[in-house]
Structure 1
Amino acid sequence: MRFYVPEWEDAVDANYDFIHDELSVLNKTERERSFIWDIFDYESTPIDGVLISREQAEGSRTKFDRITEYGVYDDPQLNIPNWLPTISDCGAWGYKSLPFPPYANENMLEFYEKMDVDVGVTIDHLVLGSGKQKGRLYLDERGLNPEFGESDLPTELTDQVDVMIDEWPNEWPDIVSRREPSIYDIGGVEPFTSEDFEGSAIEILQRMNEDPRAVYREDDKQERYEMTLENARKMRDLYHDGDWSFRLMAAFQGWDPITYGDALDEVLEMDYQYVGIGGVAGSQLKQVEEIVTEVGHRIADYQSNHGTRVDTHVFGFAKTDGFETIGRTGMYSIDSASMLRAAWTGGNNYHLNADERFDAIRVRYTSPGDDLKTAAEKSMLGQEVLHALRAFDDGDSISSRIRGWYAEATPVLDSLVDYLTDNRHDERYDARLLREITSEFRDDFEYGCELQASFSDDLRKQLVKLLRVDDADDPVDFDEYLEIINAGREVAERFPRTVDRVEALEEKSGEVATFKQVWTVLENYATSDLVDDQNLLDGYRKTLRSRPWDRCDCPICEELGIEVAIFRGNNRNRRRGFHNTYRFYQQFKRDLPKILIVAPADGSLFGRNTVEGYLTDMYGELWGAVHDIPVAEIGVLDANGVHEWWEPGPPSVSLDPSGISEELERKAGRYDTILYYDPDGKARLDIDSVEIVEDPQEVRGRTLERLGYDSDPVPSRDIQIQLGEF
């Protein structure tokens, strides 16, 4: 089974300065960015693929143009390694408030081709809940205005119908011309007025039926259900008529197990061999289990009756409690970013495993609107606790580390006066952009980074703004610089806050870096009036006593230690998200071991319509024994790599023994078990994780044994769900 992570620009500064909380380069386009696949190596990368949604990609015109020009594997920003498979879909969640998907089928196929993804998904529309008694009304946001806005809608209407408001596209796809011609090919948008919403709810809805700014549906979920299937049918026809380089997956929707199952039957009749269960993200585990069980049973029946295989993806679902059901029902792939997003949403944002989750320690930046003294004081409070936490992690004297920081911070302001006196009119500060001046200042002034770390980015920005307007011919009064600097001096006189108490504890115990010592600093920080995080202290106590980062073997924790357990800015928080993903993936692999079944290739693989056809002809007994096994991946191996069962035959076949061994060795780095089918007993391989098996039934038996499944692994349906069919 494969786990995909959605791509949402989840990148960090590869060379971030954690000590001073400084980006390596202020210009984003010049910065070296690291995605999760950059931080981990081939063997340890905690994902099996990347999901890229069009709706998300369109959030940046620059990004959209870039990935459609270069493709996702050659894009200089994403730089996804070619061994990671990619799926692209429309991003139905992003347009759920529109009455129709905004994309046309042929346009989506062309988009997938330009992106050079491995799998493209048909256009679906989320089947939303039943809504209120009278159904759902969609309004074009462009028609709302200061004279008549959303708050002016009559309550008699909003009490009876769900109202969905969004900005409609300037051009709708062709499906709209058939389903709702009143809104298709409309030029301008007239503003709504109160007269449009006069009368009873029924009168308003009747009026909206022909209004080009509105769509009313009494049974909206059925419409969305049918649209999703119509798009799957249309896109399949276009796909068959064209020459596309990617695999096509049919997304299907429903609102209960039976409607999901019925939708599946329809897409299977369209000859899809990769199908995607949409609309379950955020659903309760029991609901998802019921849906995938129904889908799994129907797929099992289809595979048995047709002697083929069907791969199934579950969109937006990755609950560890559901792995057993997901695996047994024959799902092939899942995707989720929930464990990544959890790193900066709510508590319990550092994950060690499903049972051990901890609160990352919040060390806050300044807030918008803080005056200079408040900003400087928050920064110094933060630096005192950050240096204490690092000393605690390193096993060093916390008091010495705090004194060392303070000794480095206090000369900064005096040096700043001297520097500004000599350099404030330097031509390097003639730049127009604050970013450019800031870069010059922090690189040229010896303590440019320490100034920001200890006395706040706000203080440094104020100085940089003065530098920008300061001109030798029309100089700024130097007292304006001194006023800013003296604000920092006044705050610095009140620090360090806790060093004497910590030093006394060290002398009394004869030990350093104890919990009690670091707690003295952290408690002072969290209970200060400027921070007021005392309600978080219980969680912090658990985190510091447990030291979970010491028990993690991911490269992020091994390199950064306690920094990963500090809640502070993108570069810590996203790295913690990558760590969470790694920990999730370890459980994913434990519960659903990664198993690859491969058969050897020969020259007849060349030019085949499908690898499945080759397996059926050359290794019929093996295909019959394994084609319906859940979780495991199936393919044919030559020296060029593994050709998956659904792919067309390769344009060339290499039987070089050393190349085949190298490919198996490489694959073994990503799989827990590789079962190499060798009916003639001729293979001579000595590679960890590669088992040579001569009997097809033994291949099946070993696979199910690794998974802990019996011969018929699909869980039974809930009897009440089955009764719904009658």
Structure 2
Amino acid sequence: MKFFLPDSQDLVDPTFDFERERRSVARQRQTDDLYAHEIFSMPAFDGLLVSKGIVDGFGALGSRYTAAQRHRLLRRGAPEFFRLERAPHPLKIMGDCGAFTYVAEEVPPYSVDEVLEFYGNCRFDMGVSLDHVILEFKPAADTPGSGVEIAEPVRDRQKLTLELAQEFLHKHKVGRYSFEPLGVAQGWSPKSYAAAVKALQKMGYDYIALGGMVPLKTPELHMCLEEIQTVRKPGTRLHLLGVTRTEHLAEFSRLGVASFDSTSPLRQAFKDDRDNYYSDDFKYTAIRIPQVEGNPGLQRKISSGQVSQEQARRLERACLEAMKLFEEGRRTVTQVVEVLMEYERFYDPDTKKNHAPAYEKTLREAPWRRCPCEVCQSLKYHVILFRGAERNRRRGFHNIWTLYRQLQRLGLDTPQEPFTESRQPSHRLKAQARG
């Protein structure tokens, strides 16, 4: 099973000094900052998923790309734009339309011709047909006499998605595009998904992406895959678009899933309240030491005179010093947690959360010391600090690397030979964590 990492222009600054928390004045973001595949000497994923909606932006969701970046991507192509030559093994790039960016529209804002041109100009290896996402899920509609009705606009979205897939495949052949086409199946129930897969196979697709499944719970997703099995041809591969239930991938593989994409390992690093750092068998809570200037709630209290800025900075510095001394073996777990909780009670006095037990486990087991990935080896304890984009994003990269190792242990992916020494990426993270 192949893992595609969705691109959202997540890069890290190799010049960032974690002790002084400063960047190099000579840093050039586009040329100096690193993608995840430029950091690791071993594979961390099999490819990238690049969405037209992310590149172009739509409506209230602006583009993650600057105008210059977008022009460079279209002019030079994705392999050069993402510097794939620096990856530790060959990466594939899949393109899709980013249907969730225009979910509120009656019809997609793009034409099939525009999508094909985008995929072709970017030199993608695979391209997903233009689709319109369905967010309703009513499995009871599959039961005759249930009385559950599916609104006509919902049925129209599936019909339109299949019509666009037919047009996409036809124009792909006529235009002799080199990328592999994937048809999208949208549905509102297990049987409706199976019907869409059957229709796509009849058109000629043997690689089918299952869309609209992000909101589904694991049992619902499983129901759909089981029903699809009744119509799936032996050579048909399935791709799960945006599915984050990575703990069930072994079962999904049995049901015909050949690939998936997920931002969950990256996002959990700084969006989850508990599961921030992946290890082989556990997800640890990162140590929260918010920046005084970077915490909106704390800044409001300081501005209104509710709390002292001087005291906030003193507590912040005390936490950072305690973590540094802990790493040096000069502070105990109990001593560090006491300092951390004093700061937490200061910046979030109304919270009902108590991170103390989770912090104790994280510090007692210190998982970053056992991890061989480049992020943990170079950052050391900084990787476990929930503090600023540079630490948080690197922790997300570590999570991606760990997930990929888990896939390999499950036998869901075949490790590829690393590059020879002359082709390996230059790992510029090694000298970052000073002191």
* Matched letter for residue 18 of structure 1: F
| 1:366-409 CA distance string (max 9 Å, x none) | 244435994444233212211220221122xxxxxxxxxxxxxx
Q: Would you say 1:324 and 2:143 are equivalent positions?
A: no
* Matched letter for residue 80 of structure 1: L
Pairing partner for 2:267 from 337, 341, 348: 341
Pairing partner for 1:285 from 218, 223, 226: 218
TM-score normalized by structure 1?
0.51
* Matched letter for residue 413 of structure 2: K
Q: Would you say 1:549 and 2:368 are equivalent positions?
A: yes
CA distance in 2, matches of 1:668, 1:361: 36
Give the total of aligned pairs: 387
* Matched letter for residue 259 of structure 2: S
CA distance in 1, matches of 2:380, 2:71: 38
Describe the SS at the equivalent of 2:104. coil
| 1:570-618 CA distance string (max 9 Å, x none) | 001011111111222222222234249xxxxxxxxxxxxxxxxxxxxxx
| 1:70-124 CA distance string (max 9 Å, x none) | 111112xx32347210000000111111111111001110110111110111001
Equivalence for 1:313: 239
CA distance in 1, matches of 2:282, 2:79: 36
Pairing partner for 1:391 from 325, 334, 343: 325
Equivalence for 1:586: 405
CA distance in 1, matches of 2:338, 2:273: 22
CA distance in 1, matches of 2:347, 2:417: 53
Q: Would you say 1:294 and 2:294 are equivalent positions?
A: no
* Matched letter for residue 83 of structure 2: N
* Matched letter for residue 214 of structure 2: A
| 1:461-495 CA distance string (max 9 Å, x none) | xxxxxxxxxxxxxxxxxxxxxxxxxxxxxxxxxxx
Residues 459-498 of structure 1: matches in 2 within 5 Å? none
Report the CA distance between 1:31 and its aligned residue. 6.4
Q: Identify the range of structure 1 (18-27 vs 314-323) with the bigger mean alpha-carbon deviation.
A: 18-27
Report the CA distance between 1:543 and its aligned residue. 1.5
Equivalence for 2:184: 251
CA distance in 2, matches of 1:30, 1:337: 22
Describe the SS at the equivalent of 2:105. coil
Pairing partner for 1:573 from 392, 396, 402: 392
Pairing partner for 2:70 from 64, 67, 71: 64
Cα 1:259–1:26 shift into 2, 3 Å: farther
> Larger radius of gyration, structure 1 or 2?
1
* Matched letter for residue 219 of structure 1: E
| 1:267-326 CA distance string (max 9 Å, x none) | 111111211111111311111112122223422xx33xxxxx222211112423322321
* Matched letter for residue 54 of structure 2: Q
Q: Would you say 1:94 and 2:101 are equivalent positions?
A: yes
* Matched letter for residue 66 of structure 1: R
Pairing partner for 1:380 from 291, 300, 314: 314
Q: Would you say 1:236 and 2:169 are equivalent positions?
A: yes
| 1:544-570 CA distance string (max 9 Å, x none) | 122121232221112212111110010
Equivalence for 2:84: 80
Q: Determine which structure has greater relative contact order: mean sequence separation of CA pairs < 8 Å that are 6+ residues apart, divided by chain length.
A: 2
CA contact (8 A) 1:293 1:325 kept: no
CA distance in 2, matches of 1:254, 1:130: 8
List alignment gaps of at least 5 residues for structure 2.
57-62, 139-149, 420-435
CA contact (8 A) 1:515 1:544 kept: yes
Equivalence for 1:157: none
CA contact (8 A) 1:385 1:521 kept: yes
Q: Would you say 1:3 and 2:3 are equivalent positions?
A: yes
Residues 209-220 of structure 1: matches in 2 within 5 Å? 218-220=151-153
* Matched letter for residue 53 of structure 1: S
* Matched letter for residue 555 of structure 1: E
* Matched letter for residue 339 of structure 1: P
Report the CA distance between 1:358 and its aligned residue. 1.8
Q: Would you say 1:564 and 2:378 are equivalent positions?
A: no
Residues 20-419 of structure 1: matches in 2 within 5 Å? 20-25=20-25, 29=29, 32-41=32-41, 44-58=42-56, 59=63, 60-62=65-67, 63-75=69-81, 78-81=82-85, 83-129=90-136, 218-299=151-232, 302-303=233-234, 309-353=235-279, 355-366=281-292, 367=296, 368-369=299-300, 370-371=302-303, 374-395=308-329
Residues 537-686 of structure 1: matches in 2 within 5 Å? 537-595=356-414, 667-669=416-418
Report the CA distance between 1:25 and its aligned residue. 3.7
CA distance in 1, matches of 2:97, 2:229: 25
Equivalence for 2:141: none
Describe the SS at the equivalent of 1:108. helix
CA distance in 2, matches of 1:29, 1:545: 37
CA distance in 1, matches of 2:72, 2:55: 10
CA distance in 2, matches of 1:102, 1:30: 29
Describe the SS at the equivalent of 2:257. coil
CA contact (8 A) 1:351 1:583 kept: no
| 1:140-188 CA distance string (max 9 Å, x none) | xxxxxxxxxxxxxxxxxxxxxxxxxxxxxxxxxxxxxxxxxxxxxxxxx
CA distance in 1, matches of 2:348, 2:116: 51
Equivalence for 2:14: 14
* Matched letter for residue 72 of structure 1: A
CA contact (8 A) 2:181 2:207 kept: yes
Describe the SS at the equivalent of 1:222. helix
CA distance in 2, matches of 1:221, 1:102: 18
Describe the SS at the equivalent of 1:13. coil
CA distance in 2, matches of 1:374, 1:562: 29
| 1:207-230 CA distance string (max 9 Å, x none) | xxxxxxxxxx95221011001000
TM-score normalized by structure 2?
0.83
CA distance in 1, matches of 2:98, 2:309: 40
CA contact (8 A) 1:297 1:329 kept: no
List alignment gaps of at least 5 residues for structure 1.
132-216, 304-308, 396-511, 597-666, 671-726
CA RMSD of aligned residues (A): 2.4
Cα 1:101–1:324 shift into 2, 3 Å: same
Equivalence for 1:706: none
Report the CA distance between 1:23 and its aligned residue. 2.4
Describe the SS at the equivalent of 1:287. helix
Describe the SS at the equivalent of 1:125. coil
Cα 1:333–1:5 shift into 2, 3 Å: same
Cα 1:333–1:349 shift into 2, 3 Å: same
CA contact (8 A) 1:253 1:277 kept: yes
* Matched letter for residue 551 of structure 1: R
Describe the SS at the equivalent of 2:121. helix
| 1:405-461 CA distance string (max 9 Å, x none) | xxxxxxxxxxxxxxxxxxxxxxxxxxxxxxxxxxxxxxxxxxxxxxxxxxxxxxxxx
CA distance in 2, matches of 1:536, 1:595: 38
CA distance in 2, matches of 1:110, 1:335: 23
Cα 1:376–1:16 shift into 2, 3 Å: farther
Equivalence for 1:634: none
Equivalence for 2:428: none
CA distance in 1, matches of 2:275, 2:389: 14
Describe the SS at the equivalent of 1:332. strand
Report the CA distance between 1:262 and its aligned residue. 0.9
